[in-house]
Structure 1
Amino acid sequence: MEKEIIERRQGEVLLRQSANQNSKKLFLESYGCQMNFSDSEIVASILQQEGYDTTNQLEEADLILLNTCSIREKAEQTVRKRLSQFNSLKKRNPKLTIGVLGCMAERLKTKFLDEEHLVDLVVGPDAYRDLPNLLQDTDDGRNAINVLLSKEETYADISPVRLGGNGVTAFVTITRGCDNMCTFCVVPFTRGRERSRDPHSILKECEELAKNNYKEITLLGQNIDSYLWYGGGPKKDFNKASELQKATAINFAKLLDLVASSNPKIRIRFSTSNPQDMSEDVLHIMAKHKNICKYIHLPVQSGSTTVLQRMNRQHTREEYIELVDKIRKIVPECAISHDMIAGFCGETEEEHKETLSLMEYANYDFGYMFSYSERPGTPAHKKMADDVPLETKKRRLAEIIELQQKLSLQRMKTYVGKSHEVLIEGTSKKREDQWYGRISQNAVVVFPKKDNTKIGDFVKVKAIQCTSATLIGEQE
């Protein structure tokens, strides 16, 4: 499944408060989706115990790690280019260790050691606990690799070192891996089988965040609605569970209810939802709790049932529309965003038009839109012809983007003239005298600073105008 790629965070360097007893320096740069940024926090926590403090200065690093993504070709090109930039550093400091982590590491494996001669270390997303042993191998002059996928690993017992962000919003990973074999997607091959994390560890992590004055938590999963805890193990083995395990199992709706009830002063978001797994129960929990944000990221990928079949998506156009109708009925103020792929294998002009008509029906707030590009190793790459001409893909993508900009502006206008609760997340990038934050529906709002406000405050802001991407407001 396509994950939300946060463009402004690509290449972000993890930086946290130093530990007095640590003497080694780690430079950790992250690419890709929210899950990767969350994983970087886990890596930093593991390496903190091995004597590493983070740094944002390449020149003082003893260990450089790039946490990578295989979702988009652009990410791979960026990482390969970045690795080539470390040439001079390696020459000046032969003891410098350079490693590649994450999805790209799992997929390309030994190619990084063979082709990118700067790389000493290759570690997949389920092997971060093995980092201390792998680093010992590199200290002894050997290249090190561990890309084994796990059916059990959830890192539930590791308290992540939080990214050096605003200290207000945090990610909490509740599932790992994916069982949905969408033909265009590499995730099942790079992150393994879907497994859920112990709910007690999730609640504990959320409570710790509350104690540390975090104001918003985003629950993360490759396919969050299929969260299912019955004592551990892959979701696919649930049918082998005991009757007691089945009777006491916790699904996503129950977990969401627990998290929201236990942390009434913290805003709760979640991502990413899968249409085939989202239940009405989740929608009723959203409607029940004021602190659950009224926003759902609901990837569809195409508005055509025939394309969805070729993608091996487990829903039809009609089923997706039915789900959108339920959301509008049960949580009427809810915003919905999407992922959309233009020009998938065999896509006809009529199928493309079905995508445009679905977008108009769903009236999306915003979306993440891409033209199809083959990902090596996926079923589509192995068995289907990438037969839509590049110019046709570009034109269809442009039409999708143009329509979404129109829909986004329409949706943003519905927020104008209304008062919204906004969590202040930081200073606007364009103006030092303005704050920015998000409303419950995930729309960004900017507004003038007041002397008595600070990052982390909840404030009432009236939206007075908008663009297709931003609300402009005044604090009440």
Structure 2
Amino acid sequence: MSAQAPSKRLFIKTYGCQMNVYDSERMADVLSPLGYTMTETPQGADLVVLNTCHIREKATEKVYSELGKLKEMREERLAEGGARMTIAVAGCVAQAEGEEIMRRQPAVDLVVGPQAYHQLPELIARTHRSRGERLSANFEPQDKFDALAPAGRKANGVTAFLTIQEGCDKFCTFCVVPYTRGPEWSRPAAAIEAEARSLAGQGVREVTLLGQNVNAYGDGAGGGLGGLVRRLAKIPGLDRIRYTTSHPRDMDEALIAAHAEVEALMPYLHLPVQSGSDRILKAMNRGHTAERYLGLVEQVRAARPDIALSGDFIVGFPGESEADFEATLQLVREVGYASAFTFKYSRRPGTPAASLDGQVAEAEKADRLARLNTLLDAQQRAFNAAQAGRVLPVLFERPGRNPGDLIGRSPYLQSVHIRAPEGLIGRIAPVRIVAAAKMSLAGELALESA
């Protein structure tokens, strides 16, 4: 019998999107054979990984601030005779600014980009041996997914993220993803199905398929995301399928038809538009018009009348006038969103938009963001309020804050709070919605659990 690796403590701080959450889980998986177990705080951790995101404003400076705190923590521990903490930076900031991170913060032991997580055990071994080779960012996506085998993945609850596609070929002028995640690449359908079957076998009832442009998925044999959804819907025990984030340019007829015909595909679509102004959409290099976007919404709703729409919006893009912003408000009024994510435009170094003329004043961006959020908040409250009195199938995920409370998820991705026996966790049951707030619903069991 082989000796078990000594236990070490691992802390991962995850910034940003669901794909980073997925990647953090995979890093924990690949480090487990080395004896690393997760801990809730960096204090006492043997290895700390900051899994970074380059999208949000001042993201890089937040990383440096956190690194400064970790450096102090490590020095205090060493002064007290404790073991040395290994510090790693992963994710998109690591990919974009790896050399700069090493220069500015020598306390960092290694930098690893999104496609090199399968190399973590080797990189950490090298670091412990020599504190030498510390930068690893560029590998083929196939290498990453071949190494992070689905058989080694442990489910954590009844829902799970599942990456099917990475990278982006769209080159929106405000976005760094094509530079940090690389070109669009899709995993083989058989590999995705194997991972999904493994998750379902561990009690996962719902998967969310992830990709920077998830509906650009293609298996190389002519099968797109619609076909993959149909394939996964046949897996026993896998009752719910979602996907994010999609792009209007890749919303094809086969995927829209899947929304009409595949029961497991939830009636919720996150379809970012960013602006309602054709002039701004062109400057953003989005590749679609407001009319085309509204036409897609009409097609999707014709296929699935009860579908809920979510979107992304950027206000204050360079050159955006009040008339351009009003066009965005008008598009929001026409669509009627169940939820949305909104952002003030911020310059991302290296992107074309960063050097454009007509940068909008910060005060104007803040005012437009507030006005947009007022409208979207009202729509979200109205959508949630419209669920009152309905009976919805709810997948129960975990206990609530108080004894006897459970938290589940509606088909529309809303949190549902209910008093019910803990034995319902992992099951789908009909719930009558009795009250609604902006971010959640309250309900009661409508019938004996399904």
RMSD over aligned Cα atoms: 2.0
Q: Residues 69-468 of structure 1 correspond to what in structure 2 (within 5 A)?
A: 69-91=53-75, 92-93=77-78, 95-139=84-128, 140-148=130-138, 150=140, 152-159=142-149, 165=156, 167-230=157-220, 248-263=221-236, 265-381=238-354, 383-385=355-357, 387-429=359-401, 431-447=402-418, 449-451=419-421, 453-468=423-438
Whole-angstrom CA distance in 2 between matches of 1:347 and 1:224: 28
Q: Distance in 2 between matches of 1:351 and 1:433?
A: 50
Pair 452,97 (structure 1): closer, same or farther in 2 beyond 3 Å: closer
Counterpart residue identity of residue 191, structure 1:
R
**Residues 461 and 156 of structure 1: CA distance in aligned 2, closer, same or farther (over 3 Å):** farther
Report the 3-state secondary structure (helix = DSSP H, G, I; strand = E; otherwise coil) of the residue aligned with 1:473. strand
Structure 1 residues 183 and 458, CA gap change in structure 2 (3 angstroms): same
Query: Could you report, residue by residue, the CA deviation over 1:158-216 in whole angstroms, capped at 9, with x for unpaired residues?
Result: 23666885x11101100111111000011110000111001111101111111101111
Residues of 1 paired with 2:430 and 2:240: CA distance? 15
CA distance change for structure 1 residues 279 and 397 in 2, over 3 Å: closer, same or farther? same
**Counterpart residue identity of residue 289, structure 2:** T
- The aligned counterpart of 1:30 is 14
Q: Once the 2 structures are TM-superposed, how far is the Cα of residue 154 of structure 1 from its aligned partner?
A: 5.0
| TM-score normalised according to structure 2 size | 0.92
What is residue 238 of structure 1 aligned with on the other side?
none
Q: Deviations over 1:11-55 (max 9, x none)?
A: xxxxxxxx9544333222211100001111221222223333333
Q: Measure the CA separation in 1 of the matches of 2:273 and 2:230.
A: 25
Partner of 1:325: helix, strand, or coil? helix
Aligned partners of 2:142 and 2:187 also within 8 Å:
no
- Cα offset, 1:143, TM superposition: 5.0
Q: 1:156 to 1:198 in 2, by over 3 A?
A: farther
Q: Is the 8 A contact 1:120 1:144 kept in 2?
A: yes
Unaligned runs of 5+ in 2: none
- Aligned-residue offset at 1:330: 0.5
Deviation at 1:467, TM superposition (A): 1.9
Q: Distance in 2 between matches of 1:171 and 1:159?
A: 15
One-letter identity of the residue aligned with 2:391: S
TM-score, L = length of structure 1: 0.87
* Aligned-residue offset at 1:388: 0.6
Query: Which stretch shows the higher mean deviation, 219-228 or 151-160?
Result: 151-160
- 3-state secondary structure, aligned to 2:342: strand
What is the rounded CA distance, in whole Å, between the counterparts of 1:386 and 1:111 in structure 2? 29
SS in structure 2 of the partner of residue 262 of structure 1: coil
Q: Which residue of 1 aligns with 2:442?
A: 472
Identical residues among aligned pairs (%): 38
* Residues 210, 266 of structure 1: 8 Å contact kept: no
Q: Which amino acid aligns with 2:408?
A: G
Q: Structure 1 residue aligned with 2:29, among 45, 49, 67? A: 45
Whether the 8 Å contact between 1:428 and 1:436 is mirrored in structure 2 is yes
Distance change (3 Å), C-alpha of 1:453 and 1:82: same
| Aligned counterpart, 1:7 | none
Q: Secondary structure at the match of 1:250?
A: coil
2:29–2:154 CA contact under 8 A, matched in 1: no
Q: Taking structure 1 as reference, are residues 164 and 255 closer, same or farther at Cα in structure 2, changes over 3 Å only?
A: closer
Q: Number of residues paired by the alignment?
A: 437
The answer to whether the 8 Å contact 2:406/2:422 transfers is no
Aligned to 1:16: none
Give the drift of 1:88: 3.2
Query: How many Å separate the matches in 1 of 2:238 and 2:141?
Result: 35
Q: 1:72 to 1:95 in 2, by over 3 A?
A: same
Q: Deviations over 1:400-447 (max 9, x none)?
A: 100001111221222111100001122335x44432222111122212
Query: Cα gap change, 1:331/1:122 in structure 2, threshold over 3 Å: closer, same or farther?
Result: same
The alignment partner of 1:208 has SS state of helix
Q: Which secondary structure does the structure 2 equivalent of 1:35 belong to?
A: helix
Contact kept, 8 Å, 1:150 with 1:193, in 2: the verdict is: no
2:233 is paired with a residue of what secondary structure?
helix
Which residue number corresponds to residue 239 of structure 1? none
- 1:109 deviates by 1.0
Separation in 2, partners of 1:367, 1:57: 31
Deviation at 1:256, TM superposition (A): 0.9
Whole-Å separation in 2 of the counterparts to 1:181 and 1:314: 10
1:184–1:374: 8 Å Cα contact kept in structure 2? yes
C-alpha distance in 2, partners of 1:361/1:204? Answer: 41
How far apart, in 1, do the equivalents of 2:45 and 2:299 lie? 52
Q: Distance in 2 between matches of 1:452 and 1:111?
A: 49
Structure 1 residues 294 and 20: alpha-carbon distance in aligned structure 2, compared to 1, 3 A threshold: farther
Q: Does the 8 A contact of 2:316 with 2:345 survive in 1?
A: yes
Bigger drift between 418-427 and 257-266 goes to 257-266
**Residues 155, 202 of structure 2: 8 Å contact kept:** no
Deviates further, 55-64 or 122-131:
55-64
For structure 1, the 5+ residue unaligned runs are 1-18, 231-247
What is the identity, as a one-letter code, of the residue corresponding to 2:411? S
Aligned-pair CA distance for 1:349:
0.3
**CA shift digits 1:303-353 (9 cap, x unpaired):** 111101000001110100000000111110111100000111100000000
Q: Aligned partner of 1:409: which letter?
A: R
**Structure 1 residues 208 and 386, CA, compared in 2 at 3 Å: closer, same or farther?**
farther
Distance apart, 1:264 and its partner CA: 5.8
Q: CA deviation at 1:151?
A: 6.0
